Chains A and B, each alone.
Chain A
Amino acid sequence: MNSSLLFIVLLCLTLFSYWFGIKRSLKVAGGAEYKKSLISLPEQFGLLTAMVCGLPALITLLIFNSTEQLVIEQLLTNTLPIKIQQLSSIDLGLYLNNIRSIASTETSQTLLQNISSQTLEQTSNASLITQYQGALTLQTLNQQASWLKTALVLIIAVVSVIILVRKFSPTFKARQKAEAIIWGLLVSSSAIAILTTVGIIVSVLFESIHFFKSVSPAEFMFGTQWSPQTAMRVDQVGGSGSFGAVPLFAGTMLITFIAMLLAVPVGLMIAIYLSQYADARLRRFAKPMLEVLAGIPTVVYGFFAALTVAPVIRNLGESFGLSVASESALAAGLVMGTMIIPFVSSLSEDAISAVPNSLKEASLGMGSTRSETVINVLLPAALPGIVGAILLAISRAIGETMIVVMAAGMAANLTANPLDSVTTVTVQIVTLLTGDQEFDSPKTLAAFALGLMLFITTLGLNILALKVVRKYREQYD
């Protein structure tokens, strides 16, 4: 039975055990009319039975599925000739893949036929016979594993229900037990957040350490030459590649800077206007309108940047006699700024409206105009909140991927000219990791080192932003 079918069977079994638990509890009570003698409701008995039936079996199924392939591979390798077992891990993997593809395309009967015909011919094709035999073993193993899985899961489900049901008595605390299980489920769901963080840190850190074994951290952090694409073959001349990430950092900063140059003034002015000047009607209309900007997927912005904004900027630059790269940092930065405007405006509006009204009223009461109030009272008071918003926006811009992948270049130029093409950290992560390549090459691992940098930077910015905002809150609360 395959896993999805087994899952459905298990689901039916769980539903059945709910009903079964209710029936058994009533029987223990001595009939439906005596159900008051039970310490818990029959439905609670049913719920407990269903959970006891489903959960252990489901966990078994998950564990089995995740370890199945590994075990089968090991068993298969043990049946292969010693010569093949001693191959290097990469060659062995290739060999096993070969066997796997044979096993998945041929039926066992044709395999048997092939083996017998090959043996009859007495040809020197011994390796082919071993492969066929391996495929045959694999098929048997797969079949056995499938049976084992089905049997194991179903037996666990049934046995745990039987053990539970035998304990049923009128004083059996079914509700408390069921609630304890639910509590455990709730705790583990909330712990997923921690697991995710740990997973990110461990996976990225682990691969980065691998990477830093072949490239020194100093070279990575301070080198100015980035050309990972040369590291294709070991015997290649200059095959080591160079992994100086400074051009990437510079490119990221350049594009982020351009984006902020657009997003901060515009976003801030929108926030000020909407919170201080606009009437309710305009606000009602403007807010959803700006939310549209925030809700557009980044891939759409990328398309817009690459196919609309970039050509416009190039034509404009050429009409002034400037040479503009077709993938200029300016185009990517401006479009990224557009994306971030609503982010800045909504966060700064929150910050501005959090300033106590008494401050504003005092200033207006003293005769200053609204703009004077905004510039001299509200903005200074809301400054920490606005700084927090800008920091969050910067972190957002640094981590933004699709716009720069589509609109910024691949070439790692170390330049401050916004009309030139630059590349960013995220662009390089995507280019290094899309497509098939072996996982252990420094080229692939470099992506994880860049990911680590990205994670640390954005995390740092977020923590800093939260600190700034919190400090400011304490001031007025």
Chain B
Amino acid sequence: MTNAIQQTRKNAKDNLDMNNSKPSKLLSTTEIVALSLKKRHKKEKRFKNLGLLAVLFGFMLVLVLISDITIKALPAFGQHWVQLDIDYKSDWLNIEETSPETLLAEQLKTANFRKVLRNSIYQMFSSTADKKLSRSEKRELTKLFSTNAEFTIKDALIESPVLLNKQANIWVRLDDDVDSYLKEGFSDGEAGLRLSEQQAGWLAKLNAEKRLENRFNLSFFTASDSREPELAGIKGALVGTLLTMLVTLLLSFPLGVAGALYLEEFAPNNRWTDLIEININNLAAVPSIVFGLLGLAVIINLFELPRSAPLVGGIVLTLMTLPTIIIASRAAIKAVPPSLREAALGLGASKMQVTFSHVLPQAMPGIITGAIIGIAQALGETAPLLMIGMVAFIVDVPTSIVDSATVLPVQIFLWADSPERAFLAKTSAAILVLLALLLVINISATVLRSKFESK
């Protein structure tokens, strides 16, 4: 029966003569169709639901992706601090308190703060004088605190030198393992993650004395990369991204607009123009990593520009985004009504004057939207930058376009590879920052477009 229906349908579609169909001898065509309707409608419903399912599946993927990363990122915005009783004993510091003030300030800079920190901690945890900490206990104890703690107490003393030979309550960062442990919500004194029972016990004690505090982790935004997760931040990567994007924008925007203007307004219809067009279309689909190979072979090895520099990264990303910008700009230029050109030409303007004072301003919003989309694409790009050496571990914030630098996506890649548990949250947080940047850029493009369209 279905066969017959299909035959009928096919005939309808192909506009063939109805004589070809061979309906069953017992039933008329109308009856066959009527009988099959229920089944066909069921099929229709199934197909429609399948489509809806696919759309919902797409939504689900977006939600799962975003929420998974957000949940993973949340811990990175907090950092546990601990209040320590620091004893600034001058013989631990290895300085003479009788020295004149200027000399004292000098001495404080080189004093032995590690000893102060350790001895103060040991003092805090060996409450009764007779019970000395064993060597391994001492080691476990010092592991609780960030390596940065001795600098925190150093800064505190330099800020107020009167604390010398006194006891002070100083807040310092906890180590990343401890931080992760606290964020996981273990019950008091329970060993977990990389913490022993002994360490957990100490933490429970600190917690009972209300010496622990979860603060907003500002240093995530103000610090550069570090091997210690509790100290690592994205500032260096952000500045590197900014510099790279600046180079990309400054190069790709004028070049892209100029190229598009030529192709739309001036190019004669010949083989040369065809060649350029084919090239642009093909370059738009070349994998980004190939541009990295080009950058490595030509820009770094041939022109000997510095490795890892935002300048090289910007040039490579320019070559990559140029086709996008040219294609978008051409569409915008094409949308400028020809009457405008003809009116200006009729009034005696030269072709160049028409282009630059009439066509270009009209097409500008569209061109800028295209450029923003190109920049957004460049902002998330990682692979070509790996090729040109922007993967190095860089602690310093870059100050110029020829300094060694890294960018946010590469920083994400590097952190994702790190074994420390705390870097998982840091990576997710860096991804959130990257996505937020992209969102801002895309929204500005949308706003611009709608403003342009309403005109």
Q: Which residues of A contact B (CB under 8 A)?
A: 4, 66, 69, 175, 179, 182-183, 185-187, 189-194, 196-197, 199-200, 203-204, 206-207, 265-267, 269-270, 272-274, 276-278, 282, 286, 289-290, 292-293, 295-300, 302-304, 306-308, 338, 341-342, 345, 362-363, 366-372, 374-377, 392, 395-396, 398-402, 405-406, 426, 429-430, 433-434, 439, 447-448, 451, 454-455, 458-459, 462-463, 466
Contact = CB atoms under 8 A, between A and B. Distances in A.
A392 B43 CA distance: 31
- Could you say which of A190, A292, A297, A429 has the most chain B C-beta atoms within 10 Å of its C-beta? A190
A366 B442 CA distance: 45
A270 B62 CA distance: 14
Interface string B352-385: 1000000000000000000000001001111100
A341 B62 CA distance: 11
Interface stretch (B127-135, B181-189, B408-416): B408-416
Contacts of B283: 193, 196-197
B61 interface: yes
Contact of B276 (A190, A269, A308, A374): A190
A377 B297 CA distance: 50
B297 A466 contact: no
Contacts of B44: 369-372
Interface in B328-345: none
Nearest to A439: B301
Given A190-B326, A433-B387, 5 more contacts: A186-B262, A197-B283, A204-B293, A282-B55, A345-B58
A299 B409 contact: yes
Interface in B23-81: 33, 40-41, 43-44, 47-48, 50-55, 57-59, 61-62, 65-66, 68-69, 72
B424 interface: yes
A401 B409 contact: no
A454 B43 CA distance: 43
Contacts of A362: 12-13
B158 interface: no
A190 B267 contact: yes
A300 B435 contact: yes
A402 B59 contact: no
A231 B289 CA distance: 24
B293 A200 contact: yes
Given A293-B61, A368-B12, A458-B285, A194 B275 contact: yes
Contact of A307 (B12, B292, B383, B424): B424
Interface of B: 9-10, 12-13, 33, 40-41, 43-44, 47-48, 50-55, 57-59, 61-62, 65-66, 68-69, 72, 254-256, 258-263, 266-267, 275-276, 279-283, 285-294, 296-298, 301, 303-304, 319, 322-323, 326, 350-352, 376, 379-383, 386-387, 389, 391, 400, 409-410, 412-413, 416-417, 424, 427-428, 431, 434-435, 438, 442
A355 to B, nearest CB: 13
- Could you say which of A207, A273, A370 has the most chain B C-beta atoms within 10 Å of its C-beta? A273
Nearest to A266: B54
Contacts of B292: 433
Closest 5 CB pairs of A and B: A399-B287, A297-B380, A273-B51, A269-B54, A189-B258
B289 A270 contact: no
Given A370-B44, A395-B285, A459-B282, A286 B55 contact: yes
Contacts of B267: 190
A276 to B, nearest CB: 8
A289 B256 CA distance: 29
Contacts of B410: 299
A270 B304 contact: no
A376 to B, nearest CB: 7
Contacts of B304: 66, 69
Given A197-B279, A207-B297, A366-B9, A270 B435 contact: no
A295 B259 contact: no
Nearest to B294: A200
Contacts of A282: 55
A399 B288 contact: yes
A183 B352 contact: yes
Nearest to A3: B402
Given A192-B255, A193-B280, A366 B13 contact: yes
Contacts of A374: 47
Contacts of A187: 262, 266
Contact of A273 (B52, B351, B417): B52
B287 A193 contact: no
Contacts of B275: 194
Given A193-B323, A300-B431, A406 B54 contact: no
Contacts of B389: 434
21 contacts: A186-B261, A186-B266, A193-B279, A193-B280, A196-B322, A200-B286, A200-B293, A204-B290, A276-B51, A289-B62, A298-B382, A300-B65, A303-B69, A308-B68, A345-B58, A363-B13, A367-B12, A370-B44, A376-B9, A401-B382, A434-B389
Nearest to B381: A297
B282 A462 contact: yes
Contacts of B288: 399, 401
A179 B352 CA distance: 7
B54 A270 contact: yes
